[in-house]
Homo-oligomer: A and B are copies of this chain.
Amino acid sequence: MPRMTMIEAIRSALDVSMARNDDVVVYGEDVGFFGGVFRCTQGLQQKYGVSRCFDAPISESGIVGTAIGMAAYGLRPCIEIQFADYMYPAYDQIVSEAARLRYRSAGDFTCPLVIRMPTGGGIFGGQTHSQSPEALFTHVSGLKTVVPSNPYDAKGLLIAAIEDPDPVIFLEPKRLYNGPFDGHHDRPVTAWARHELSEVPEGHYTTPLGKAVTRRAGEAVTILAYGTMVHVALAAVEETGVDAEVIDLRTLLPLDLETIVASVAKTGRCIVLHEATLTSGFGAELTALVQEHCFYHLEAPVMRVTGWDTPYPHAQEWDYFPGPARLGQALRDIVETR
């Protein structure tokens, strides 16, 4: 099986989807001729023509708004917002329109739409190239929200998202594009090629939305993570020696609550991990659900290890990023609590 980076896997998902279905169209800022600033759409315009893959004006609201019209027409737009930090001008179209079209029209009009956005930090991108706005989507009824952590899932989930009948927010952890990253920013960069989940089939397959996966089984504590944080979790577990179970959520909404509850019921302890700011982050929802569903199993409060409640700073990136040191400390603390 070929080895792919996350970028290649995403490109392959788009390619496979465009080849199978003429209704799949791809556009966004710099997406057409150039192939996107992260090159996820490279070669697609050449292969499928300017009607299927093209450059858009710098108007996120226009990009999403036109895509909604296209989806209502019957196309399957898979659009790119250059950075998740730039989705705010499109937020009205996403929240008030894409998410509600089916409901409003009692199913007469639908909105099968995928909005891809690079998300998260770790690239010295400062406050407008580092954000993790997933909680701003999970609060919105009618949206599905997906965050892959590796090339294999990225491709399978993206194809599933494109084939889904409803609007899907597809958040791509940009720090993972070219290699796995466990938060050890001062160690040499590793390539995907050496990671088992970079083995990606060339053709069509899907990874179902709404299903989490256990990346590491363990007994002492459950770590709930997604995107880059899955790698941070695995690193911290290895370094601390704490026998943690690491769950990669993959889809935040609909959430695979069953897998979570089964794990926490077993371990009795839970740490929620994300890059986004703490307050009202998706970790709050996870914490609330875990305490609702596993209350009598919990031996310690659910802990949240997250970014701070500040804008994402440039120079102090590694003081902000919840890396393996911070998680490691939390792991040691939580297993000692009773």
Task: Give residues in A with beta carbon < 8 Å to B.
Answer: 61, 85, 88-89, 91-92, 95-96, 99-100, 103-104, 127-128, 135-136, 138-139, 141-142, 253, 276-277, 279-285, 287-288, 291-292, 295, 298, 300-304, 308-311
User: Which residues of B sit under 8 angstroms from A135, Cβ to Cβ?
Assistant: 135, 139, 280
CA distance A139 to B170 in the complex (A): 20
- A280–B280 contact, CB under 8 A? yes
Q: Is the interface of A mostly helix, strand, loop or mixed?
A: helix
Q: Which of B100, B139, B302 contacts A279 (CB 8 A)?
A: B139
- A138–B292 contact, CB under 8 A? no
- B91–A280 contact, CB under 8 A? no
CA distance A302 to B61 in the complex (A): 39
Number of copies: 2
- A284–B279 contact, CB under 8 A? no
Q: Quick one: given A89-B92, A277-B141, are A303 and B292 in contact (CB under 8 Å)?
A: yes
A-B contact pairs, 18 of them (CB 8 A): A85-B96, A88-B91, A88-B92, A88-B95, A89-B92, A91-B92, A135-B280, A139-B281, A141-B277, A141-B310, A141-B311, A280-B282, A280-B285, A284-B284, A284-B288, A287-B291, A287-B292, A292-B301
User: Which residues of B sit under 8 angstroms from A300, Cβ to Cβ?
Assistant: 295
